[in-house]
Structures are given as C-alpha cells and as structure tokens.
Amino acid sequence: MRGFILAAGFGTRLRPLTNHVSKSLLPVCGTPLLHRRLQFLVTNGMAAIGVNSHYLHEQFVAFRKQCSVKFELFHESDSIRGSGGPLYVARDFLAQSDVFCICNAEPLTMFDLSAEQRRFEASGSICTLLAASPEGEGTICFHPETGEYAGPRTKIGCTPDLKRADFIGVALYRKEFLDLLRPDDFSILPVWKRAQQNGLSVKAALVDNIYWRDIGTPAEYARIHFECLEGRFPLDIPSTIKLDIKKKTAVNRALPEKDADRLEEYVWCEADSLPPDTLFSQCIILDGSSGLEGKKYITSRIISFGEHVAFE
C-alpha cells in the first residue's frame, strides 16, 4: 500500500505561529508533526509515501534532506489544490498500488492501520473514511446498518436515522477511485459523492483502540503536550528532552538548572535558555523563542519566534 500526506495548508487557525513555519513542520512533543505522520505510515507498512506542499515549500525541501523517512514531494507551485486536487496530480504515483491511504497532516493518530487495511480490502467499498466515536456533535454522518457515508454533519444535519462520528483525517482507497478524479477537483467531498452517484460504495468505519487528537488550534496544540506531561499520551520523545511526569514538565536537557527551576507545572520547554527571573506555568516554549524579557510571570501561552499565542 502507498501513502500520501496532505501537508500544503496554511494553518490559519494556528497563526501567528504558522506565519513562520508550516503547521505540518511544527514540533509536536519535540518532533515535527510531519515526521510523526511519516513514521506512522512506515510502521504500518507503506511501500512508498508522497507529501504535497505549497505554503512555505522551501521548508519541506530542507526537511526532506534531513528526514530519516524517505518520501516523494509534490509541490503545488501555482496555487493550493485543496483536498481533491492533490490526488489528481499524484494519480500516477498512487496507481502503483491496488490500495492507497490518504492522510491529512493532522490530526495526530495512533491505531492499527494495517488492520483497517485488511477490513477495507474485504469491504467491497471504493473508499472508507476512518473515524472515531464523536467527542461532541461529530463531523460526519453515516448509515449505521450499512456503514455508507451520508455526508458532513454541518451540511446534511444528521437526521436521527444516521450515526455521527469524527473523521480522523485518514481514508483508504482502491486505485479505481482515481478514474473518478477531474482536473478541476478541489475538495474531495464532491468526488466521494460522484463515486456514490456512480453506484460505488463510500463507507465510514469506526476504528477500535484509537488515540487521536486534532492540533489545529492553540488549545488543541497545548492539550496534546499536557496529556503527554501527564503520561496519557505514549509518544516517543527525543533524547534531548527530559520528561518528568511527576513534576509535569518537559525540559531541554541543555537548559541550565537555575532556569529549569522556574518552570511550574504543565510547562513543555524546548528552549535552551530563558530570560532571568521569569516564572512559567502552563506554557509550551518552543526552540528559538524570544521576546520574553521583562516579563515576571507567563501562563497559558504557546511561545515561539517572538510570538505569544494564548489558549484557553
């Protein structure tokens, strides 16, 4: 199976952090999100992986040179092509596998994708959207008896005969789906509908034993770090970071002890130096942070590139 990661977006909900770095390359618990996505696909047996880029493309070029996971880069140079256009551009790459997987760069997910692939291959559907039980109202609706996808919750309203779920940003396709794509496709939603109008099955499947988190907003980005500090989120952490679940802190090992002592609970600090006399609580301090001088107490902030992003 081949994989493809949609990573071209602007990350507008995370601005101003994403004024400086692509959302896909933001560190999540010490490791770029894209690297975590790539590793997830490799662990689940992907034979080859593609990644699309548009915004801050040069950062992807630099990342690929030092990344331990090999991938093919598809640059959308003129304009961003949404969630459907990239599949059309990469159709020759994807068609080299009978089944392929498309992932959004986020949410971050942990589950057995190989098991879902086997279930998909036995299903007869041309596409299956992988989903989790909804935390709120859900993002998609499907028919509980057949699993057939009904549409986005916000567009169809989810009548009582339908079941709701949260789409986790991962979908499985048969290569015949590529024949449905058109050069002017932007969103993938009309292509799913086109498949159903042609008598093909597009299903939604709830994934068992899944841990997933959206990180599209500052609050969601902070949440995943804080859950890691509590020991609830079993991510691999770089050896350069010392994680102390008892203290609920994660600290760059190069940070002097006198600076580390000024970090209260729920602080994730990747910086190797901090301004004197400032106390921090419930903060994510990324490498390269600046603009903190003269502040006595900072709380509930993501700090990077001189930007302070508040979250609730």
Q: What is the pLDDT, as a whole number, of residue 286?
A: 87
In the listed set 170, 195, 213, which residue is the last one of a domain according to the structure?
213
Is residue 110 domain-shared with residue 257, that is, in the same domain?
no
Give the Cα separation of 69 and 18 in Å (integer).
Answer: 23
CB-count exposure of residue 283 (10 Å: 0-12, 13-18, 19+): buried
Q: What is the pLDDT, as a whole number, of residue 151?
A: 92
In the listed set 213, 241, 261, which residue is the last one of a domain according to the structure?
213
Is residue 83 domain-shared with residue 191, that is, in the same domain?
yes
Q: What is the mean pLDDT of the chain?
A: 90
**Residue 7 reports pLDDT greater than 90:** yes
pLDDT tens digits along 78-130 = 888 888 888 999 999 999 999 999 999 988 899 999 999 999 999 999 999 99
CATH number at residue 17: 3.90.550.10
Is residue 62 domain-shared with residue 179, that is, in the same domain?
yes
Is residue 160 domain-shared with residue 303, that is, in the same domain?
no
Is residue 194 domain-shared with residue 278, that is, in the same domain?
no
Is residue 51 domain-shared with residue 181, that is, in the same domain?
yes
Q: What is the pLDDT, as a whole number, of residue 294?
A: 62
- Answer whether the bond into residue 107 is a cis peptide, omega within 30°: yes
In the listed set 172, 187, 213, which residue is the last one of a domain according to the structure?
213
Is residue 207 domain-shared with residue 100, that is, in the same domain?
yes
Is residue 196 domain-shared with residue 295, that is, in the same domain?
no
**Residue 278 reports pLDDT greater than 90:** no
pLDDT tens digits along 125-145 = 999 999 999 988 899 999 999
Range of the domain at 58: 2-213
Domain count, the chain: 2
Q: What is the pTM of this model?
A: 0.91
pLDDT tens digits along 172-188 = 999 999 999 999 999 99
pLDDT tens digits along 214-254 = 888 999 999 999 999 998 887 899 999 999 999 999 999 99
Burial per residue of 241-278, b for 16 or more beta-carbon CB atoms within 10 angstroms, e otherwise: bebeeebbbbbbeebeeebbebbbebbbbbbeebeeee
